[in-house]
């Protein structure tokens, strides 16, 4: 059985970060980590929602980043 997906919107991020802002995560996820160049951008679930193309999305807000170990 396929796990249900929840659509999310990523808000914020380090200066110059470019990545897809609308994503899908598994139901119940509260933290998302996105690879952006040489670092991971971290986002945490908020209690806010926004509409994107008529679909309600849960908003995940940027909470910091960590650099990829070499």
Tens digit of each residue's pLDDT (9 = 90 or more) over 23-66: 999 888 999 999 988 899 999 999 999 999 888 999 999 999 99
Greater confidence (18 vs 2) lies with 18
Return the pLDDT at 70. 67
Return the pLDDT at 58. 95
Return the pLDDT at 2. 63
Using a 10 angstrom Cβ sphere, with 0-12 exposed, 13-18 middle and 19 or more buried, the burial of residue 18 is exposed
Structure tokens at 55: 């679909």
Return the pLDDT at 57. 95
What is the 8-class DSSP label of residue 27?
T
Residue 63 β-bridge partners: none
Number of domains in the chain: 1
Q: Using an 8 Å Cβ cutoff, are 39 and 66 in contact?
A: yes
- Residue 15's domain comprises 5-67
What are the strands of the beta sheet with 39-52, ordered from one edge? 22-26, 5-11, 55-67, 39-52, 31-36
Would you say residue 17 has pLDDT above 90?
A: no
């Amino acid at each position: 059985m396929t796990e249900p997906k929840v659509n999310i919107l990523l808000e914020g991020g380090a200066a110059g970060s470019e990545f897809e802002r609308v994503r899908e995560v598994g139901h119940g996820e509260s933290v998302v980590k996105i690879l952006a160049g040489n670092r991971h951008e971290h986002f945490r679930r908020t209690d806010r929602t926004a509409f994107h193309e008529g679909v309600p999305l849960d908003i995940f807000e940027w909470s910091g980043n960590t650099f990829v170990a070499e």
